[in-house]
Amino acid sequence: MVGAPELISPKSPRVSAARRLAKRNFRGKERLFLAEGPQAVREAAGHGQTLVELFATVDAAERYADIMGEARAAGARVHLADEDVIADISTTVTPQGLVGVCRFLDVPFEEILAARPRLVAVLSNVRDPGNAGTVLRCADAAGADAVILTDASVDLYNPKSVRASVGSHFHLPVAVGVPVEQAVRGLKGVGVRILAADGAGEDDLDAELDKGTMGTPTAWIFGNEAWGLPEETRALADAVVRVPIHGRAESLNLATAAAVCLYASARAQRASSTR
């Protein structure tokens, strides 16, 4: 048994401070964000000194005793909380009993360039937080070296984005607030080829693979799902590439198209490295 909840009122100062992080302006001021659920909290606890504070119901503390131990070992303040308190902090309809308060994770764009990345996802004007988090998860799964969110994109720490990434926020470097022109200029400066993903692109992804041009360091620019990439952004790319539709579907959603493109590059790069 782990004992009785110590936090039983949503009016507690600790609870109020955590609840405010659901709002972007408070996140930016404190440079803290919420990570909910066992997967995200486990990743946060294993990511250096990222996890600052953890709120857990008694049931969750017993069920995820290993995560509680990792959180304490990481130096986080751990609180047992009443279920109503967790519900008050949580941004989900059905809370999973664990809510962590984490330090911001983003890194300077220059740090990404200095690492000489081979595969990068650039999110330009991506406004939907679920899309942003899912593309981040896809980039992580494909083995990308970094993700860049332009200055016109959604907040990396939006709770929906954090949930959609399922822990990938903690796995790879992410730069935020970078103008797309600066992102392209910097990446080209370190030898990265720029591909813009667009359903109306002149080049076909299959044809690019057949030509053998995708084994080099590559950054994919992904745009807003509703209106795609503006012409001025397309003009910055070395090629504008469409994912071929072989069936009768009208199009692919942003996250699916990003997964196809990133995996195609990852496979081409692996093949190139073994030649």
Cβ–Cβ contacts within 10 Å for residue 235, how many?
Answer: 11
- To 10 degrees, what angle do helices 65-73 and 38-45 make? 30
Least confident interval from 5-9, 22-26, 163-167, 270-274:
5-9
pLDDT at 154: 94
Strands across the sheet with 77-80, in order?
A: 32-36, 98-103, 51-56, 77-80
Strands across the sheet with 174-178, in order?
A: 174-178, 146-150, 119-123, 218-222, 193-197, 239-242, 203-204
Share of the chain above pLDDT 90, in %: 80
CB 67 within 8 A of CB 98: yes
End-to-end CA distance of the chain: 57
The mean pLDDT of 52-63, rounded to a whole number, is 95
> How far is the C-alpha of 113 from the C-alpha of 38, rounded, in Å?
33
> How far is the C-alpha of 18 from the C-alpha of 266, rounded, in Å?
39
Token representation of residue 143 = 């083995």
What does the DSSP assignment read for 149-210? Answer: EETTSPPTT-HHHHHHHTTGGGTS-EEEEE-HHHHHHHHHHTT-EEEEE-TT-SEEHHHHHH
What pLDDT digit, counting tens, does each position of 9-40 carry? 677 888 999 999 999 999 999 999 999 999 99
What's the pLDDT band for 248 if we cut at 50, 70, 90?
confident
Tell me: pLDDT of 4 over 80: no
196 alpha carbon, distance to own chain's centre: 19
Tell me: pLDDT of 1 over 60: no
What's the pLDDT band for 3 if we cut at 50, 70, 90?
low
> How far is the C-alpha of 96 from the C-alpha of 64, rounded, in Å?
11
CB 109 within 8 A of CB 183: yes
C-alpha count within 13 angstroms, C-beta hemisphere, residue 193: 15
The rounded mean pLDDT for the chain is: 92
